[in-house]
Amino acid sequence: MHLMYFTEQPMSAYDEQAGRDFGATALMFSNKHFDPVAGSRLYNNYIEQYMLAEEVGIDGIMLNEHHNAPFCMQAKANIFAGILAGMTKKVKIVLLGNPLPLAENPIRLAEELAMIDMISKGRLVSGFVRGGGQEQLATGVNPAFNRERFEEAHELVVQAWTKVGPFRFEGTHYQHRVVNPWAVPLQKPYPRVWIPGVISKETIVWAAQQRYPYIALNTSIEQTKKIWELYDSVARQTGYQSGPENRGYLIQVHISDNDEKARENAKQFRWMQGEFTGLAHPVWSTPSGYGSPTNRRAFVEFAAGRAINPRGNTTFEQQVEDLRIIYGTPDTVVKKLKRILEETRPGILALWGNDGFVSQADSLTCIRLMGQEVFPAIREIAKNLDLKSPWEADAPVHLRYSTDLQPAAKAAAAE
C-alpha cells in the first residue's frame, strides 16, 4: 500500500463575498482579489506541511495544479515538485498531475520531469491529466483537441524519456524536428505514470490500455467500483489481470484529536460554495469539444440551467454518508477507511487532509495523526487484504514492459 498526503493548496485568503457577488470563483473571478502577501505565507505553510508529512513517515506527497481559481494555488505542479525534490529525502513526489494538453512544448515538460527525478534521486511519480475545461481557457489551449493533445503529448514525453536522441517527431499537434533533451529520468525505463480522473470513461479505458494505475478522485464507493469494473474488463481484453496495484483512490479525510473539531474542519471541504473546483459557468468547465459527445445533451441542458449537474452536487451530510468526506479521531477514521479498502481494494491511497480555512496548526495535527496513527493501522489492514502498491507488486511501468501478457495481447503490445 502506498499512502499519500494531499492538499489542494487552497488560497482561502480572498474576499468570499466578492466571489458570491460575482457569481463565480473560477476562470473570470478577478485576480484583484488575490493577495500576494497572503499567497507568500500560504505557499510557505504548504512547504511546512509537506516537510512534516515526510517526517512522520508518509510515503508520498501528491501534488496537482489548476489555474485562475482560489481553490488551488499551484499554477505549476513541477515548481513544488522541484522544491520537494531538493528539500525532502524519502517521500515519493507524486504529480497528479501535469495537464499534458496545456503543454505547447511537451519536450520541455519531459526535461523538467527528468530534472525532478534526478534531483530527488528517483522519487518522482509522473501522473498526467487532461486538465479541466477551465484550465484550457485559462491557458488559451483549444479544448476541442484536448484528448488528441493528451495522447500525443504523452507519446512525445515517453519518447523523449526513452528513445536515444536526436530524433524527429512529426505529430498532428506537435512537430519537433530535433528531440534530444540533455536531461533524462533516473528511473528506468521511466518514472511511474499514474492517471487520475473523475468521470471520463475514455480516460479509464486509456489508462487500462497503458497499464497505468488509475486514481479515482473522491468518487463514491459505488462509482469507484464501476470504474474498476471498466478498468478490469479493459485489462482482460488487453491481456493482463489488474489488481490493487492498478488502483488508486483519493478521499477527503480530516483527522483531529477531537471529533467536534474534526467535523468543523471537515466542513471546510465544502468551502468553495459546495463546488470543489469553484463556482463556474458550465461552459467554462466543459467547453464544447472537451467532453465526450455522448454527454453533449446532458451538459447543454445543465449549462442552460435546465438540468442538474451531470457530475453531481451533493450536500455535506450526503458526502459524509457516502464516505466521500471522512472526519474524526484516528480510530474513527481508520474504521471508515477500512470499509473503503475492503470494498474498493486500492493499492494507492491519498488522503486529502485539509482545505479552506483549516488553520495551519490543525493542518499540522491532521498530518501528524495521519502519519503516526492512521497510516500504520492502514498498512496493517492493507497487508491483511493483500493490497499491494505498484512497487510492492513489482508492476510494469507500462504495458509494453509486461512479462505476463496473454499471448494474443502480447503481439498487440509489441506493436
CA distance 283 to 385: 43
| Binding window for other proteins (CB under 8 A); candidates: 8-16, 296-304, 325-333, 390-398 | 296-304
Binding to other proteins, residues 242-281 (CB under 8 A): 281
CA distance 24 to 380: 44
CA distance 232 to 345: 13
Contact residue for other proteins among 301, 322, 379, 409 (CB under 8 A)? 301
For residue 287, state whether it binds other proteins (rule: CB under 8 A).
yes
Nearer to other proteins among residue 173 and residue 225 (C-beta):
173
**Cell 474534526 identifies what position?**
262
Contact residue for other proteins among 36, 86, 140, 407 (CB under 8 A)? 140
For residue 191, state whether it binds other proteins (rule: CB under 8 A).
no
CA angle 211/93/360 to nearest 5° reads 130
Provide, rounded to whole angstroms, the least separation between the CB of residue 143 and other proteins: 6
Question: Which of 154, 192, 188 is CA-nearest to residue 174?
Answer: 154
Provide, rounded to whole angstroms, the least separation between the CB of residue 271 and other proteins: 24
Decide: helix, strand or coil at residue 36. Answer: helix
CA distance 200 to 204: 7
Q: Which amino acid is at 260?
A: E
Contact (CB, 8 A) for 16 and 71 = no
Question: Which of 150, 194, 140 is CA-nearest to residue 174?
Answer: 150
Provide, rounded to whole angstroms, the least separation between the CB of residue 140 and other proteins: 6
For residue 399, state whether it binds other proteins (rule: CB under 8 A).
no
C-alpha cell belonging to residue 269: 471541504
Q: Which amino acid is at 175?
A: Q
Nearer to other proteins among residue 79 and residue 298 (C-beta):
298
Provide, rounded to whole angstroms, the least separation between the CB of residue 279 and other proteins: 14
| Binding window for other proteins (CB under 8 A); candidates: 123-131, 142-150, 354-362, 378-386 | 142-150
Pairing of strands 167-170, 175-179: antiparallel
Nearer to other proteins among residue 305 and residue 407 (C-beta):
305
Contact residue for other proteins among 51, 186, 300, 412 (CB under 8 A)? 300
For residue 28, state whether it binds other proteins (rule: CB under 8 A).
yes
Pairing of strands 325-328, 247-255: parallel
For residue 143, state whether it binds other proteins (rule: CB under 8 A).
yes
Nearer to other proteins among residue 308 and residue 411 (C-beta):
308
Measured over the CA atoms of residue 109, residue 110, residue 113 and residue 114, the dihedral's sign is negative
Nearer to other proteins among residue 71 and residue 284 (C-beta):
284
Provide, rounded to whole angstroms, the least separation between the CB of residue 273 and other proteins: 19
Going by the DSSP 8-state scheme, the letter that residue 29 receives in this structure is S
Nearer to other proteins among residue 75 and residue 307 (C-beta):
307
Nearer to other proteins among residue 281 and residue 336 (C-beta):
281
For residue 299, state whether it binds other proteins (rule: CB under 8 A).
yes
Contact residue for other proteins among 27, 69, 179, 221 (CB under 8 A)? 27
Total chain residues near other proteins (CB under 8 A): 23
Contact (CB, 8 A) for 379 and 260 = no
For residue 289, state whether it binds other proteins (rule: CB under 8 A).
yes
Contact residue for other proteins among 30, 105, 175, 288 (CB under 8 A)? 288
For residue 145, state whether it binds other proteins (rule: CB under 8 A).
yes
Going by the DSSP 8-state scheme, the letter that residue 26 receives in this structure is S
Contact residue for other proteins among 18, 75, 144, 308 (CB under 8 A)? 144
For residue 198, state whether it binds other proteins (rule: CB under 8 A).
no
Q: Which amino acid is at 284?
A: W
Nearer to other proteins among residue 14 and residue 284 (C-beta):
284
DSSP labels for 247-268?
A: EEEEEEEEE-SSHHHHHHHHGG
Nearer to other proteins among residue 27 and residue 85 (C-beta):
27
Measured over the CA atoms of residue 204, residue 206, residue 207 and residue 211, the dihedral's sign is positive
Q: Please, where are the H alpha helices in 253-315?
A: 259-266, 282-285, 296-303
For residue 231, state whether it binds other proteins (rule: CB under 8 A).
no
| Binding window for other proteins (CB under 8 A); candidates: 74-82, 301-309, 355-363, 403-411 | 301-309
Binding to other proteins, residues 118-137 (CB under 8 A): 137
Omega before 189 within 30 of 0, i.e. cis = yes
- Helix, strand and coil in the chain, % to nearest 5: 50, 15, 35
Residues of the shown chain interacting with other proteins in the complex, contacts defined by CB under 8 A: 27-28, 137, 140, 142-145, 281-284, 287-289, 296-297, 299-301, 303-304, 306
